[in-house]
Structure 1
Amino acid sequence: MSETPVPLRTRLREALLTAMRERDRVAVPVLRATIAAIDNAEAVEAPAPSGASQAIEQAPVGAGAADVARRELSEEQIEGIVRAELAEREAAAEAYSRAGRAEQAGRLRAEIAVLAAHLDGAARAR
């Protein structure tokens, strides 16, 4: 019997809840930032109002009247976003190291380890 793999986004959200309970000062911010990057990638621009000019009386009214459906990302796209977040931190850590700022580089490397652990899980789940 084959288990359905847990999506990367779900694993990140569960890890965030665990990190928050444990008050993990490294994992919480990196997981929040990564989840926010995924959420931002799903956002779509609201359609422009129809017509050249729209009077306020013609504007949509009510909660959710102007809502737009979010884009759905594939597991590969989500993994790509996580890899981009990881690469961004790797580049920054290298820059900090070159500048002699070992403490900042070390913190970024700890964040890299948090994200890499979840990517390794994505590779194993396939």
Structure 2
Amino acid sequence: MDDEGVRARLRAALKTAMKERDRAATATLRSALAALDNAEAVDPAGAGLAEVEHERIAGTVGGLGAGEVPRATLDEEGARAVVRAEADERRAAADDYDRVGEAERAQALRAEAALLDELLG
């Protein structure tokens, strides 16, 4: 395996897919990158925000930046686990499509999973 991380490989592959106008690969790679971003999101309820709510808007805190919290960070193994889960999800959905006779859609999902597996190394 090379020195660059899974996120960098996904971005490089996305750039190539976009240049080649490969819609399926572009959508798959964007989805995987979004899954990584979502995994780094923090739960605002447990983020230690100020306890005092803004008097005009329920559920908010007052002051510029008062609701901002730093994002969580994924290590390389965490990022690989997220992308692996995305590939597994596609394979499970492909099995479901096979059961209902949608072989074409199942094949497309398996191709997406294979692309993600390839980038994981």
TM-score class normalised by the smaller sequence: 0.7 to 0.9
Residue 109 of structure 1 corresponds to 110
Structure 2 partner of 1:93: 94
1:70 is matched with which residue? 71
Per the alignment, in what secondary structure is the counterpart of residue 26 of structure 1?
helix
CA RMSD of aligned residues (A): 2.0
RCO comparison, higher one (Cα < 8 Å, 6+)? 1
User: Could you state the TM-score of these two structures normalised by the residue count of structure 1?
Assistant: 0.81
- Aligned partner of 1:124 in structure 2 is none
Q: Paired residue for 2:38, among 29, 37, 40?
A: 40
Q: 2:12: which partner in 1?
A: 14
Give CA-to-partner distance per residue, 1:47-106, whole Å, 9 cap, x none. 44323x4336x8212xx5532111110100000001100110011111111221111011
TM-score (norm 2): 0.84
Unmatched segments (≥5 aa) in structure 2: none
Give the partner amino acid of 1:75.
E
Contact kept in structure 2, 1:42 and 1:71, CA below 8 Å = yes
Aligned residues: 114
Q: Within 2, Cα distance between the matches of 1:65 and 1:14?
A: 35
- What is the alpha-carbon distance in structure 1 between the residues aligned to residue 96 and residue 62 of structure 2? 50
- Secondary structure of 2:23's match? coil
Structure 1: gaps of 5 or more residues = 121-126
Q: Percent identity, aligned pairs only? A: 47
